[in-house]
């Protein structure tokens, strides 16, 4: 394979920190997710990744919801869960949000 993949489904409700179901972890990392605020989440990676060779996809599986976010640095991801019609309206729940990273080989 020309790349290694980390893929998971993220879930969260109320004031709880998100939990994830890991589908594939070829990168050998773990992510500790915390709730930062309403609809705002932070994931801290167990080891740095090369941002010049890594892509990140965050996708919500809910109608009228938008996922925004990305890498803050080589060990931190920020993820926002917003309403499509009112960007200011963040939600305190996430259901099976897709988190996928691919780190490409040299």
User: Rounded to 10 degrees, what is the CA torsion of 12, 93, 71, 20?
Assistant: 20
pTM: 0.89
Per-residue pLDDT of the chain (106 residues; tens, 9 = 90+): 799 999 999 999 888 999 999 999 999 999 999 999 888 899 999 999 999 999 999 998 777 777 889 999 999 999 988 776 665 555 667 888 999 999 999 7
Start-to-end C-alpha separation, the chain: 11
Q: How many domains does the chain contain in total?
A: 1
- Rounded CA-CA distance 49/55 in Å is 10
Report the sign of the C-alpha dihedral through residues 76, 70, 27, 42, in that order: positive
Q: What is the predicted pLDDT for the residue at 88?
A: 54
Domain that holds residue 30: 3-104
């Amino acid at each position: 394979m020309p790349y290694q993949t980390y893929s998971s489904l993220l879930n969260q409700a109320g004031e709880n920190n998100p939990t994830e179901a890991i589908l594939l972890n070829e990168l050998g990392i773990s992510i500790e997710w915390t709730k930062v605020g309403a609809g705002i989440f932070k994931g801290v990676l167990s080891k740095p990744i090369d941002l010049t060779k890594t892509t990140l996809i965050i996708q919500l599986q809910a109608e009228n919801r938008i996922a925004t976010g990305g890498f803050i640095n080589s060990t931190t991801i920020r993820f926002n869960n917003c309403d499509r019609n009112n960007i200011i309206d963040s939600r305190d729940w996430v259901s099976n949000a897709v988190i996928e990273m691919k780190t490409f080989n040299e």
